[in-house]
Chains A and B, each alone.
Chain A
Amino acid sequence: DVKVTQSSRYLVKRTGEKVFLECVQDMDHENMFWYRQDPGLGLRLIYFSYDVKMKEKGDIPEGYSVSREKKERFSLILESASTNQTSMYLCASSLAGDSPLHFGNGTRLTVT
């Protein structure tokens, strides 16, 4: 069974801090994704990666960056956290282009 692990379940950060959200998958999946989940807005794609060192912008990349130095790890970076980035962040991976996504448990980030 695919396991997608997000390093933190809850995070509280201050405005202006640099924040790292880590995600690791154990099934050698090519593709990895970062979504944010907000009530009434559903899931919105921030960034995705289809290979090591490759990254593509999703629908809402502003204020975020990503890093994929190893196939199993995909990091989301908030360069300077702001209160409007308070949200649930979901990491996912998939084997191929139209394969189902496997999600992590999520990281609930609060920026004060």
Chain B
Amino acid sequence: AQRVTQPEKLLSVFKGAPVELKCNYSYSGSPELFWYVQYSRQRLQLLLRHISRESIKGFTADLNKGETSFHLKKPFAQEEDSAMYYCALSRLGGGADGLTFGKGTHLIIQP
């Protein structure tokens, strides 16, 4: 069975500092990894997916199959980045059985 681990419940950094939200996964097959974000009082929304290899709002994430990680990074944090972040895994090319989510990391950007 697949599992997603986000070791930090809470991460607090100062504005302008680099941010790294950690995500590790366990899955025997080929995974597809996602980062979802939930801003205060907004719905959960897709931030980025590894297959797209794009940068969204300055965030990037690289899939490291050797370390089974998909850490989310941003070089310079902004106050509007404060939100709840969830890492999620799907079986690549697999069935319609949804995503497995981590427990989430609450990111707080201090002014």
- Residues of B whose CB lies within 8 Å of any CB of A are 6, 9, 32, 34, 36, 43-46, 49, 86, 90-104
Q: Considering the complex of A and B, which 3 residue pairs feature the smallest CB-CB distances, nearest first?
A: A42-B103, A50-B96, A43-B101
- Residues of chain B contacted by A31 (CB below 8 angstroms): 96, 98
Chain A interface bracket (under 10, 10 to 19, 20 to 34, 35 or more): 20 to 34
The answer to whether A89 has its CB under 8 Å from any CB of chain B is no
Cα A44 to Cα B103 in complex, Å, equals 9
Cα A90 to Cα B103 in complex, Å, equals 15
The answer to whether A52 has its CB under 8 Å from any CB of chain B is no
Contact of B96 among A43, A90, A97, A106 (CB under 8 A): A97
Whether the Cβ atoms of B93 and A98 lie closer than 8 Å is yes
Given A42-B86, A98-B90, CB of A104 within 8 Å of CB of B43:
yes
